[in-house]
Amino acid sequence: MSKQKNLSHLDETGSATMVDVTKKHATSRRAEASCTILLNATSYDIVQNNKAKKGNVLEVARIAGIMAAKKTAELIPLCHQINLSNVAIDFKLSKSDQSIVVSASTATTDKTGVEMESLVATSIASLTVYDMLKAVDKNIRITDIVLNFKDGGRSGTFIREKSSSHKL
């Protein structure tokens, strides 16, 4: 049996705590996260052909994701406020399965990582797509919100294996 790692946001008594990064050095850190949005034919057509009455769905979602990344510390209670040097949101449309893969990448030079910023950006961008299309498709599914890559910091580089899945 492998030894379980201590959770960084719990102290020795099990109480929630913010990780103390006082003595850490600022280093370059990057992260990438993604999710998949599954649409019906009507909503996919609206996105693909930019026909939404509310505006360009993907551009609104891009702005929402960038804004969300910058507010991660306000949304996730024990996250540190960090200075982001870059946030990028990309979309890959697949006509064959009427889906959109949302990808968010974040970067900083700071004392702690940007994984949560990438995950929050991906999540909010996808929820924005849902919000803009819900009038025509309430069956939209947002799936597989995952961290794909992170680099920098004490734990080094993480790259998600393509076949990686967790069993609950």
Q: Confirm whether 9 is domain-assigned.
A: no
Q: pLDDT tens, 67-101?
A: 999 999 999 999 999 999 999 999 999 999 999 99
Q: What is the pLDDT of residue 6?
A: 72
Tokens 């992170």 correspond to what residue? 150
Q: pLDDT tens, 118-133?
A: 999 999 999 999 999 9
Q: Confirm whether 20 is domain-assigned.
A: no
Q: Confirm whether 18 is domain-assigned.
A: no
Which residues are catalytic, by number? 131
Domain range for 79: 27-156
Q: Could you tell me the CATH number of the domain that includes residue 147?
A: 3.30.70.640
**61 in helix, strand or coil?**
helix
Q: Which two tokens stand for residue 151?
A: 């680099």
Taking the CA atoms of residue 57, residue 125, residue 164 and residue 162 in that order, the dihedral angle to the nearest 10 degrees is 50
Q: Confirm whether 64 is domain-assigned.
A: yes
Query: Against a cut of 0.75, is the pTM above it?
Result: yes
- Rounded mean pLDDT of the chain? 91
Q: What is the pLDDT of residue 164?
A: 56
Q: Residues with Cβ < 8 Å from 3, sequence gap 6 or more?
A: none
Q: Confirm whether 67 is domain-assigned.
A: yes
Would you tell me how many other CB atoms lie within 10 Å of the CB of residue 145? 15
Q: Confirm whether 21 is domain-assigned.
A: no
Q: Confirm whether 35 is domain-assigned.
A: yes
β 84-94/158-159 pair status: unpaired
Closest CA to 137 of 37, 42, 36, 35: 42
Domain total for the chain?
A: 1
Q: Confirm whether 2 is domain-assigned.
A: no
